[in-house]
């Protein structure tokens, strides 16, 4: 596809941003106008060709209920469309965690889970986000890629125990029609269940939104709250009254009201059963930010060497791995 630079040079800009109506009339190499359907289909095919397993599109207005600090238009004020990209994680390493979570035993190693469900996957997702944004910017649109897993506020808080990301990839994925959120708060898709990782792009390009996914993929009572049962820190409630409910794209989204700091305890590798090298007793009440840092200082120094070798690594993942939802292998 070639860009008509003469048209650009003759276009009036408002504050350095090309007028939206003009943007929607980019010229293709065949001399015709870029139709939103064609642009959407071509971008989807391009991302799949680069290795994406899941690609969905949605209007930014579908997530208008997002907190101000995590709304996509905070980063791109003229954003019209969202793109959600998913990569399937390795099934065997998840199955290992699932088997031991159900037996209440410690897996022989967490290293493959750490590498092939986060470290390597995040690099691939960041690459796809960059390429997708570049694809659109090469065609004259603005496109803002978000990192797969980097908190913009590293300091924990009661609201965001791990530090919030720039946006919530899983909520954007729901808004792009890829699936629904489960009781454990993670995205469930009909193809892979919980076993994908996500990244997002927002753009002012007029992409055609995919329909919202309608089917309910999670019934916590039907599986006996399996995700809550295997949670070593009791972060996930076993009472459907303890829930969070809001709208994405006009559709109700419901999941469990997790105790985030408890979840973070396991995900930070502070227990042997979640991949840590030693058990750091969890307190009865939520620690302050300073107390949490003191607890984290007790992590085995040899464990910290793994992080120094490969970067940010995940721990726990027990609810993620055992989820029996459609598309997952958590029931083997």
Three-class SS of 158-206: CCCCCCCECCCHHHHHHHCCCCEECCCCCEEECCCECCEEEEEEEECCC
Band (99; pLDDT cuts 50, 70, 90): very high
- Please write the tens of the pLDDT for every residue from 278-328: 999 999 898 887 888 899 899 999 998 887 777 767 789 999 999 999 666
The residue-averaged pLDDT of 107-119 equals 91
Higher pLDDT, 52 or 27: 52
With 0-12 CB in 10 A as exposed, 13-18 as middle and 19+ as buried, what is 257?
middle
pLDDT at 6 over 70: no
pLDDT recorded at residue 154? 57
Domain residue spans of the chain: 1-28, 35-322
Q: What is the pLDDT of residues 246-286, one digit of tens each?
A: 899 999 999 999 998 899 899 889 999 999 999 999 998 98
Confidence of residue 329 (pLDDT cuts 50, 70, 90): low
Model confidence pLDDT, tens digit, residues 31-76:
444 699 999 999 999 999 999 999 999 999 999 988 888 899 999 9
Q: What is the pTM of this model?
A: 0.86
Q: What is the mean pLDDT of residues 172-183?
A: 97
The two three-digit tokens of residue 300, written as one number? 């085995």
Quote the pLDDT of residue 10.
28
% of the chain at pLDDT higher than 90 = 68
Query: In whole numbers, what is the pLDDT of the chain averaged over residues?
Result: 86
What whole-number distance in Å separates Cα of residue 28 and Cα of residue 67?
Answer: 38
CA 273 to the chain's CA centroid: 24
Confidence (pLDDT) at 27: 39
Q: How far apart are the first and last CA of the chain?
A: 47
Going by C-alpha positions, the residue among 178, 158, 161, 156 that lies closest to residue 47 is 178
Question: Coil, strand or helix: which one is 82?
Answer: strand
pLDDT for 240: 93
């Amino acid at each position: 596809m070639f860009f008509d630079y003469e048209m650009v040079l003759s276009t009036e800009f408002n504050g350095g941003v090309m007028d939206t109506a003009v943007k929607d009339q980019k010229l293709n190499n065949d001399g015709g106008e870029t139709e939103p359907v064609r642009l959407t289909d071509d971008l989807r095919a391009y991302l799949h060709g680069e290795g994406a397993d899941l690609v969905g599109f949605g209007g930014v207005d579908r997530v208008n209920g997002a907190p101000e600090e995590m709304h996509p238009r905070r980063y791109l004020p003229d954003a019209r469309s969202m793109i959600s990209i998913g990569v399937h994680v390795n099934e065997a390493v998840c199955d290992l965690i699932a088997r031991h979570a159900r037996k209440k035993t410690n897996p022989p190693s967490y290293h493959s889970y750490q590498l092939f469900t986060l470290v390597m996957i995040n690099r691939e997702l960041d690459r796809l986000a960059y390429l997708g944004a570049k694809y659109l910017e090469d065609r004259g649109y603005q496109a803002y890629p978000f990192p797969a897993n980097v908190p913009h506020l590293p300091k924990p808080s009661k609201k965001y125990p791990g530090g919030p990301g720039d946006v919530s990839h899983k909520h954007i994925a729901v808004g792009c029609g890829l699936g629904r959120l489960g009781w454990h708060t993670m995205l469930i898709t009909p193809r892979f269940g919980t076993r994908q990782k996500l990244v997002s792009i927002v753009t002012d390009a007029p992409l055609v939104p995919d329909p919202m996914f309608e089917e309910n993929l999670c019934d916590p009572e039907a599986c006996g709250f399996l995700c809550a049962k295997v949670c070593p820190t009791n972060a996930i409630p076993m009472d459907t009254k303890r829930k969070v409910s809001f709208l994405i794209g006009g559709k109700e989204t419901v999941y469990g009201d997790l105790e985030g700091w408890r979840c973070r305890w396991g995900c930070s590798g502070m227990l042997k059963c979640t991949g840590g090298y030693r058990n750091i007793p969890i307190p009865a009440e939520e620690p302050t930010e300073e107390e949490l840092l003191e607890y984290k200082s007790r992590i085995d120094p040899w464990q910290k060497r793994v992080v120094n070798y490969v970067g940010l690594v995940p721990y726990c993942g027990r609810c993620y791995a055992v989820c029996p939802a459609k598309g997952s292998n958590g029931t083997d």
